[in-house]
Structure 1
């Protein structure tokens, strides 16, 4: 497993390059953590079911209550170049 991220800056999207992170911290309520856990479990089920046809999923697409939050994306390593 690898974790990538980048700072929230004013850079244009073409100038933003994700960095590999050593640590992440989620500042979230118990309810938010349960929603994130459910999202991750659902993504894992879809990934196993669809294998290489499943690339990634955004938390805010799966749960609209996260639309104003930082982007949380899970990505299938078998489709990563």
Structure 2
């Protein structure tokens, strides 16, 4: 079972990766500068900068998700594929950008 590396307060459940967002107010948009041409037929771009426009509670939720994803990577090793933040957040909204943490060998 995943245990968060920091106190959970009202941000995260200690029993899973799921982020408890019932007490949070969220705002997030993402902006980026691409480097070069698309890498695949879906338009995936390598970026040289990512800018998140978000409130502090959202940034903390993103940080918890990233730490949880790192823990999951360590736990699964080479079997780790990827995690989507939109799948781990109870309060996800369609207008938010997804954050995906991928195995670099995937």
TM-score by length of 2: 0.57
Q: Which has the higher strand share?
A: 2
Paired residue total: 67
Q: Please give the alpha-carbon distance, in whole angstroms, between the structure 1 residues aligned to 2:98 and 2:63.
A: 15
3-state SS in 1 of match to 2:70: helix
Q: Which has the larger radius of gyration?
A: 2
Query: Mapping of 1:1-20 within 5 angstroms?
Result: 15-20=41-46
Q: TM-score with structure 1 length normalisation?
A: 0.74
CA-based RMSD of the aligned residues comes to 1.8
For 2:61 and 2:52, how far apart are their aligned partners in 1? 13
Listed as ranges, the gaps of 5+ residues in structure 2 are: 1-31, 33-39
* Residue 44 (1) aligns with residue 80 (2): no
Q: Structure 1: which 4+ aligned runs deviate by more than 4 Å? A: none
CA deviations over 1:29-64 (Å, ceiling 9, x no partner) = 100000000000000000001011110000011113
- Looking at structure 1, the residues matched to 61 and 81 of structure 2 have their Cα atoms a distance apart, in angstroms, of 21
